């Protein structure tokens, strides 16, 4: 059930998006509290999954990452000696 709550939060869903029989208010509040922290850790590379979550359309701005930071990351080059695209 925790995975369902976590996936719903990551996808930008709400508590009401979870089937009524599976809803757990405490579990939802836990994901709402710690979800942004985990997203930030993933963004910073402390946890794996940044590419996969970006590909899945997960909104990292919910963790305080700015749209400019996200754009810069998405427009980066593979060669660290070449400047990023504007």
44-84 pLDDT per residue, tens: 999 999 999 999 999 999 999 999 999 999 998 665 555 54
Can you count the helices (H) and strands (E) in the chain? 4, 0
Q: Where are the domains of the chain?
A: 2-74
Q: What is the pLDDT of residues 1-32, one digit of tens each?
A: 899 999 999 999 999 999 999 999 999 999 99
- Measured N-to-C along each axis, helices 25-43 and 2-10 cross at an angle, to the nearest 10 degrees, of 60
- Residue 41 has a pLDDT of 97
Q: Are 60 and 43 in contact (CB under 8 A)?
A: yes
- Residue 86 has a pLDDT of 47
């Amino acid at each position: 059930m925790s995975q369902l709550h976590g996936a719903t939060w990551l996808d930008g869903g709400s508590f009401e998006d979870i089937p009524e029989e599976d809803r757990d208010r405490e579990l939802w509040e836990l994901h709402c509290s710690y979800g942004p922290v985990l997203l930030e850790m993933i963004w910073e590379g402390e946890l794996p999954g940044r590419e996969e979550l970006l590909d899945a359309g997960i909104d990292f701005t919910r963790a305080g990452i700015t749209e400019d930071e996200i754009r810069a990351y998405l427009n980066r080059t593979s060669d660290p000696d070449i400047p990023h695209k504007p």
